Structure 1
Amino acid sequence: MTFPYQNPGSTTFTPEIWDSALLTEFDPLLVWCSRLVCNNKYEGDIKQRGDIVHINSLLRPTVGDYRLPEGMTSQRPETVDQVLEISEAKYLQVLVENAEALQSAGGLKSPINQQMIRAMARDADTFMGNVIAKGATALPDIKAGAANAPQALFSAILDMMLALDGNDVPDGRYVVVSPRVKRHLIEHPAIANAGAYGEGGVTTNGVVARLAGFTVLSTTAMPKGVDIVAGHPEFSTFASQFQGFRLGQSEKYRANYIDTLHLFGSKILRFPGLDTKKADNTFDESKPTKGIVKAAVEWAA
């Protein structure tokens, strides 16, 4: 198909190539939106802001006593439908003289495009971090000084482990820390000697180390007033869709534009037995989830 653009070289631009390249560059920059911290288990199509997708939670069956002659009573699987609204629509647009030449040269790796991708990733991560922190259960503040910071921070993570253990949160947990917490935490032998620290590629998705059942991550996109968040990906969903790259003729310049639209939204998930279910079979979302915990650090002068 031929397009009436001013630049003949743009007629063979292939959006799918850029779609693939964008995800390759975008995904490793994520922390809060990564699959280490949240899930993407939703049903429905995302086409525009305001769309609704659905998340089904399976109700835990009741264990019965087996006695004769009563035998057993079958239970039908029950689910609770939770809805997630696509609330955000953000775009990425670049202006080019020759789209085909830029594509052949790996245009998304150019410095300006890399910064634009970083900005989009930062925006999505900040959004998701705020949602997760808002829905988390607050634990007491951590007091850390120059002398005890590594141990105090490590002990706080162990306390978070205990809190999640008490709520039967499964393995595969994460803990996200601020850069300042990371700076002191890696002085603790348990972190410094953790197998992942120092591995090639360890900085992908902000991973610092893996220990005590946690993947430890760090990001500068920490919610205000929060220094450590721990939880499990099953307790938050990030629904995201890039709407593909378009190529068009600029109205102002003798050049083409290439753009894409990022639609996304998020939700803290609720589960029977952990969260309060209302009479209409929905959950009370005004209360924090027990599957995610958070804490702030009081730094001594």
Structure 2
Amino acid sequence: MAYSSFSYQNPGSSSFVPEIWDGALLTKFDPLLVWASKICTNRKYEGEIRKQGDTVHINSLSTPTVGDYTLPEGMTAQRPEMVEQKLAITEAKYLQLLVEDIERVQAAGAMESPINQQMVRALAREADTFMGRVIASAATPMPSVKVTAGNAPQALYSAVLDMMLALDSHDIPDGRYVVVSPRVKRHLVEHPAIANAGAYGEAGVTANGVVARLAGFTVLSTTAMPEGSDIVAGHSEFATFASQFNGFREGLSEKYRANFVDTLHLYGGKVVRYPGLDTPLADRTYDETVPSKGIVKAAVEWPA
């Protein structure tokens, strides 16, 4: 009997377009972020991110001195001084997918399959958990919120107002956020001020975990709360998230009869210090063990 010899032929892709995958990934990825979203962080850094271990730079402007105008002294010009802070790219997370027909998957929508969406969720969760730890570790602790069975909505609402006052006292500008745990959200939304807030129930309000807008805060909720923190409030100017997806690649799997598609997510985060709010050291750096005045946090003591 004669046998025919067949070898598996997988010539790879002739029409793979990385930009299609990049765009689909960002469209799915960004709305999943809370801590690393532009509501809670900024992207104001300089430098390119090519690999883990790279450093980018954040420049903050020192506060000028206001002078008294008199005759004949007139005015004395001041040269603005920049205070440079370095942000290390410490994280490198990858996403690799196996696809048997890359052209078909690309045409159908690169990130539409359930498994691809779950992988993107996992990437977002990693980045968010990381950035939440960065922000909360530098926040100024406030007294714990003591909750009883009957006062939960009011106690939690009052805690948010106390955070508003703490940020007001340091002239933190409008555009603030407050991130709460799901358990805090569950009781906070019972308070009339939250239940009646204009954004609550608004179409699309759940993007980036947004619950409502209240008292100058965008209220967000996430399960990626740092340990020991149930409520964290601040402003996006006080934390920088530097992130870069290192482009999609396509190739032949050595193990399976399929193509692989992968990308590398490189990122890092830092709480930014500001002249006038934070005291620089002699070498023009800051003691980063000192809590930031632009971010506050509190734990909740729940009834047994």
With normalisation by structure 1, the TM-score equals 0.97
In the alignment, is the contact (CA less than 8 A) between 1:176 and 1:229 conserved in 2? yes
Counterpart selection for 1:242 from 242, 245, 248: 245
Q: Deviations over 1:80-127 (max 9, x none)?
A: 000000000000000011111111111311011111000000000000
The aligned length equals 297
Shift of 1:7: 3.3
Rg comparison, structure with higher value: 2
Q: Deviations over 1:257-288 (max 9, x none)?
A: 00000000000000111112101111111101
Q: Which residue of 1 aligns with 2:157?
A: 154
What does 1:44-83 correspond to in 2, within 5 Å? 44-83=47-86
Q: Which residue of 1 aligns with 2:289?
A: 286
In the alignment, is the contact (CA less than 8 A) between 1:7 and 1:98 conserved in 2? no
Q: Deviations over 1:135-176 (max 9, x none)?
A: 100000000112000000000000000000001100000000
In the alignment, is the contact (CA less than 8 A) between 1:9 and 1:101 conserved in 2? no
Q: Supply the distance in 2 between the matched residues of 1:6 and 1:243 (Cα, whole angstroms).
A: 29
Shift of 1:6: 4.3
In the alignment, is the contact (CA less than 8 A) between 2:24 and 2:110 conserved in 1? no
Q: Is residue 2:270 matched to residue 1:270?
A: no
Q: Which residue of 1 aligns with 2:136?
A: 133
Q: Supply the distance in 1 between the matched residues of 2:89 and 2:12 (Cα, whole angstroms).
A: 36
Q: Supply the distance in 2 between the matched residues of 1:184 and 1:7 (Cα, whole angstroms).
A: 56
1:122 alignment partner, SS class: helix
In the alignment, is the contact (CA less than 8 A) between 1:6 and 1:249 conserved in 2? no
In the alignment, is the contact (CA less than 8 A) between 1:6 and 1:255 conserved in 2? no
Q: Which residue of 2 aligns with 1:211?
A: 214
Q: Supply the distance in 1 between the matched residues of 2:27 and 2:54 (Cα, whole angstroms).
A: 26
1:279 alignment partner, SS class: coil
Moved more, 102-111 or 85-94: 102-111
Q: Supply the distance in 1 between the matched residues of 2:10 and 2:189 (Cα, whole angstroms).
A: 53
1:253 alignment partner, SS class: coil
Structure 2 unaligned residues grouped into runs of 5+:
1-7
Shift of 1:9: 6.6
Counterpart selection for 1:108 from 102, 111, 115: 111
1:108 alignment partner, SS class: coil
Q: Supply the distance in 2 between the matched residues of 1:40 and 1:6 (Cα, whole angstroms).
A: 45
With normalisation by structure 2, the TM-score equals 0.96
Q: Deviations over 1:6-52 (max 9, x none)?
A: 43572111000000000000000000000000000000000000000
Question: Root-mean-square deviation (CA), in Å?
Answer: 1.0
What does 1:165-180 correspond to in 2, within 5 Å? 165-180=168-183
Q: Which residue of 2 aligns with 1:295?
A: 298
Counterpart selection for 1:43 from 36, 42, 46: 46
Percentage of identical aligned residues: 74
Q: Which residue of 2 aligns with 1:34?
A: 37
